[in-house]
Structure formats: structure tokens, C-alpha cells
Amino acid sequence: MQHSQHALSRGQLARRSGVNSETIRYYENVGLLSQPPRSSGGHRVYDQAQLSRLLFIKRCRELGFTLQEIRELLELVDGGNCTCAEVCNRATTHLEDLDARIRDLTNMRRVLQTMIGKCDGGLVPDCPLIAELFHV
């Protein structure tokens, strides 16, 4: 394979995308990114399409999509018959999951705040916070 102006090494891909090289390798191993061709010297050579796909994956991760959800979105795109409605449905489902997690985290925070409020920070071995954690 000849190097073009747009050919990128894994290190260059990592710098351009802001994704760690080991994460890129992981995405290749789990099939989110295709294995790139190699140069005549045996080095991996990435192109702009792989950079775009990696940026898509990164953005999805930043929005809290799981790897499986990302895989499903990419399968829609790769299949070529993706509709905006399908993507919107998946995003709506993801938003509902996020809302549920936020409610759960808010409840956990409230319980933990209550538990911490029972502790006076004293030097005695009887800690109400530990007692509360053991309480079922």
C-alpha cells in the first residue's frame, strides 16, 4: 500500500481523534473498527474513513452509549438502509436509560448524604456510617 497524504499511523490516528492507541486496538479487536491495511513495512495504515468512524465511536461513548449500542448504530449505518427514525428511536431509548440512571444516582446520593449526616466525625470506634452500611 502506498502512503498518501491522508494515510495515518495508529499514533497519528490517536492524536487526531483524542483516543488512546490501546483503545483503538481494542475497538479493532471487538470489531467496531476494521483492521487497517498495512504498509510495505508492516505498519498499520488508517484512512479518513477510519478516523471518521473512530470519532463517531468516541462521541457515542461521550454520550454514554454502550459498546453494544454503538455496534447496533454502526450496523444500521453500515447496512446502508439506516433511517433517521431508527436512529431517533435508539437515541430516545438511550435517553430513557440515562434518565433512569440519573434517578438511581440521585437516590443513592440522597441515602449517602443521610448516612453521612448521622456521623459526627468523632474519634470513637462506633461509627454510625459503618453501622448503617452493615444494616440490612
- Same domain as 1, residue 56: yes
- Same domain as 123, residue 73: no
User: Can you give the pLDDT at residue 16?
Assistant: 97
User: Can you give the pLDDT at residue 136?
Assistant: 59
The pTM of the full predicted model, rounded to 2 decimals, is: 0.78
Among 36, 52, 82, the domain-final residue is 82
Identify the CATH number of the domain in which residue 49 sits. 1.10.1660.10
Among 82, 104, 127, the domain-final residue is 82
**To the nearest 10°, the Cα dihedral for 63, 68, 71, 75?**
-120
Task: Scan for cell 453500515, then name that residue.
Answer: 78
Q: Single out the residue of 35, 37, 31, 36 nearest to residue 75, CA to CA.
A: 31
Q: How far is CA 60 from CA 27, 69, 77, in A?
A: 13, 9, 14
Among 82, 105, 126, the domain-final residue is 82
pLDDT tens per residue across span 33-86: 999 999 888 899 999 999 999 999 999 999 999 999 999 999 998 988 888 899
Band (pLDDT 50/70/90 cuts) for residue 116 is confident
- Same domain as 11, residue 67: yes
List Cβ neighbours of 38 (8 Å cut-off, separation of 6 or more).
Answer: 1, 44, 45
Band (pLDDT 50/70/90 cuts) for residue 96 is very high
Domain residue limits at 134: 91-136
Domain count, the chain: 2
